[in-house]
């Protein structure tokens, strides 16, 4: 084996690891506000709002104008490219508003899924071309972390060995390129909840996928202390007839992570998938109360599970902006507590908070 050629200098490593730790500082998680234009179309159509650039700007303004209460529960916000260059009504760039709150700015860098020929509808994710130059520019423009989503699904013959290998490899290439440019990569190997498989099956598949991801990251010389993981929680398929408690989900999830995610990874920021706002908070809370030893922070990187009530309250009306922002702050604070195992539950079941946010075969 030739002598190692260090991928990063000591200073680069320190910068990356400091950024990662800031994002997942105790009680903090991530607002995933990086919905592509296509995904925003679905969200806005649900509340009868036209999908224009201005409406997308107005909606993100609702979220980003949250007051200082979010400082203690939001460590990072993921932006979509368009949003990174938008401003609020007073001409203040969104990036600056977020940074001024001491929140780290992140950017979605993948370019969506493409099919893997010869598989049963499986995909890989594109976006590696020119990624280094794009990251360098995003870093100049205020981003300190990035996100790239890979998608796997469970069925009779999937995920296949090819899908696991290819997605793990592409995640590792993306992560390596990010770190070269001072950007902390959030590594997201999402296993969709589509299907009727049970909890155990999801746990088994999650373990296989994560083992492959961490082998690929090691092969590509990625500095784990300067990364974050954004996995699915281990849950049954959405069409599974068996119901499981948050505690069962927590135990399966933490067990899978303990078997695959090295302690060097500073934080695991779960995606919410199709869970309702309340489910996502209760599950995160149970995860943080799980009796198994957990050497990484276990927190949230939620899109829908932070925004559903806010979207519903806004409905595109300027007059509703304040109330909508309050809904967002409320979910942010609840998840900040859940990330510490301190959430007692809402007590109220109903409204947008409990409504299932599952959309079949979700692609951004």
* Residue among 230, 277, 279, 327 flagged as catalytic: 230
With contacts defined by CB under 8 A, how many residues of the chain interact with other proteins? 35
* Residue among 166, 188, 190, 278 flagged as catalytic: 188
| Binding flags for other proteins, 285-304, as an x/- string (CB under 8 A) | --------xxx---------
Sign of CA dihedral 16, 284, 79, 147: positive
Instruction: State yes or no: residue 315 binds other proteins (CB under 8 A).
Output: no
Q: Are 344 and 282 in contact (CB under 8 A)?
A: no
Provide the minimum distance between the beta carbon of 205 and other proteins in the complex, in angstroms, as a whole number. 7
Centroid of chain to Cα 197: 23
Instruction: State yes or no: residue 212 binds other proteins (CB under 8 A).
Output: yes
| Residue 186: DSSP 8-state | E
Instruction: State yes or no: residue 259 binds other proteins (CB under 8 A).
Output: yes
* Angle value at C-alpha 230, between 104 and 145, nearest 5 degrees: 25
Provide the minimum distance between the beta carbon of 296 and other proteins in the complex, in angstroms, as a whole number. 8
Instruction: State yes or no: residue 101 binds other proteins (CB under 8 A).
Output: no
Residue 83 vs 340, nearer CB to other proteins: 340
The window from 93-101, 169-177, 260-268, 352-360 that contacts other proteins (CB under 8 A) reads 260-268
Report the C-alpha gap between 311 and 53 in whole angstroms: 16
Instruction: State yes or no: residue 24 binds other proteins (CB under 8 A).
Output: no
Q: Are strands 228-229 and 184-191 parallel, antiparallel or unpaired?
A: parallel
The window from 202-210, 271-279, 316-324, 339-347 that contacts other proteins (CB under 8 A) reads 202-210
Short-list 111, 107, 113, 97, CA closest to 137: 107
Q: Are strands 113-115 and 123-125 parallel, antiparallel or unpaired?
A: antiparallel
Instruction: State yes or no: residue 224 binds other proteins (CB under 8 A).
Output: yes
Provide the minimum distance between the beta carbon of 185 and other proteins in the complex, in angstroms, as a whole number. 16
3-state SS track over 234-249 = CCCCCCCCCCCCHHHH
Instruction: State yes or no: residue 46 binds other proteins (CB under 8 A).
Output: no
Q: Are strands 104-108 and 74-79 parallel, antiparallel or unpaired?
A: parallel
Among 113, 116, 211, 321, binds other proteins (CB under 8 A): 211
Provide the minimum distance between the beta carbon of 363 and other proteins in the complex, in angstroms, as a whole number. 21
Computed on alpha carbons and rounded to an integer, the radius of gyration of the chain in Å comes to 19
Does the annotation count 188 as an active-site position? yes
Instruction: State yes or no: residue 208 binds other proteins (CB under 8 A).
Output: yes
Instruction: State yes or no: residue 219 binds other proteins (CB under 8 A).
Output: yes
| Binding flags for other proteins, 150-189, as an x/- string (CB under 8 A) | ----x--xxxxx----------------------------
Instruction: State yes or no: residue 4 binds other proteins (CB under 8 A).
Output: yes
Among 26, 115, 121, 263, binds other proteins (CB under 8 A): 263
Query: Rounded to 5 degrees, what are φ and ψ at 280?
Result: -60, -35
Does the annotation count 248 as an active-site position? no
Q: Are 340 and 288 in contact (CB under 8 A)?
A: yes
Tokens 């799980």 sit on residue: 290
Q: Locate all alpha helices (DSSP H) within the chain, ordered by sequence.
A: 10-23, 37-46, 53-64, 81-84, 94-100, 131-140, 161-180, 199-219, 246-258, 277-289, 304-314, 321-338, 351-354
Among 40, 84, 191, 205, binds other proteins (CB under 8 A): 205
Binding residues (CB under 8 A) for other proteins: these are 1-4, 154, 157-161, 200-201, 204-205, 207-208, 211-212, 214-215, 218-219, 224-225, 255, 258-264, 293-295
Active-site positions read: 188, 230
């Amino acid at each position: 084996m030739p002598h190692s050629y260090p991928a990063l200098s000591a200073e680069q490593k320190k910068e990356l690891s400091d950024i990662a730790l800031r994002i997942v500082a105790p009680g903090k998680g991530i607002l995933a506000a990086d919905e592509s234009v296509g995904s925003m179309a679905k969200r806005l159509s649900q509340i009868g709002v036209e999908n224009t650039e201005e409406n997308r700007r107005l909606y993100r303004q609702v979220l980003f104008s949250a007051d200082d209460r979010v400082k203690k529960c939001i460590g990072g916000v993921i932006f979509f490219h368009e949003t990174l260059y938008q401003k609020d009504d007073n001409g203040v760039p969104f990036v600056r508003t977020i940074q001024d709150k001491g929140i780290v700015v992140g950017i979605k860098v993948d370019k969506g899924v493409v099919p893997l020929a010869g598989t049963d509808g499986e995909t890989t994710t594109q976006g590696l071309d020119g990624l280094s130059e794009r990251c360098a520019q995003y870093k100049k423009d205020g981003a300190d972390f990035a996100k790239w989503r890979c998608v796997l699904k469970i069925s009779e013959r999937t995920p296949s060995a090819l899908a696991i290998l290819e997605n793990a490899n592409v995640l590792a290439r993306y992560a390596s390129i990010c770190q070269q440019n001072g950007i902390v990569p959030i590594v997201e190997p999402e296993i969709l909840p589509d299907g009727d498989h049970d909890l155990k099956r999801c746990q088994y598949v999650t373990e296989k996928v994560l083992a492959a991801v961490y082998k690929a990251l090691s092969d590509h010389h990625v500095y784990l202390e300067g990364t974050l993981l954004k996995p699915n929680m281990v849950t049954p398929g959405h069409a599974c007839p068996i119901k499981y408690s948050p505690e069962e989900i927590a135990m399966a999830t933490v067990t899978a992570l303990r078997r695959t995610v090295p302690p060097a990874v500073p934080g695991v920021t779960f995606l919410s998938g199709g869970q309702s706002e309340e489910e996502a908070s209760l599950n995160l809370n149970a995860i943080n109360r799980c009796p198994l030893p957990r050497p990484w922070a276990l927190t949230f990187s939620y899109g829908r599970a932070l925004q559903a009530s806010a979207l519903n309250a806004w409905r595109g009306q300027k007059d509703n902006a304040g109330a909508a922002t309050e809904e967002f702050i409320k979910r942010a604070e609840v998840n900040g507590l859940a990330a510490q195992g301190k959430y007692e539950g809402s007590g109220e079941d109903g409204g947008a908070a409990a409504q299932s946010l599952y959309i079949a075969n979700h692609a951004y």
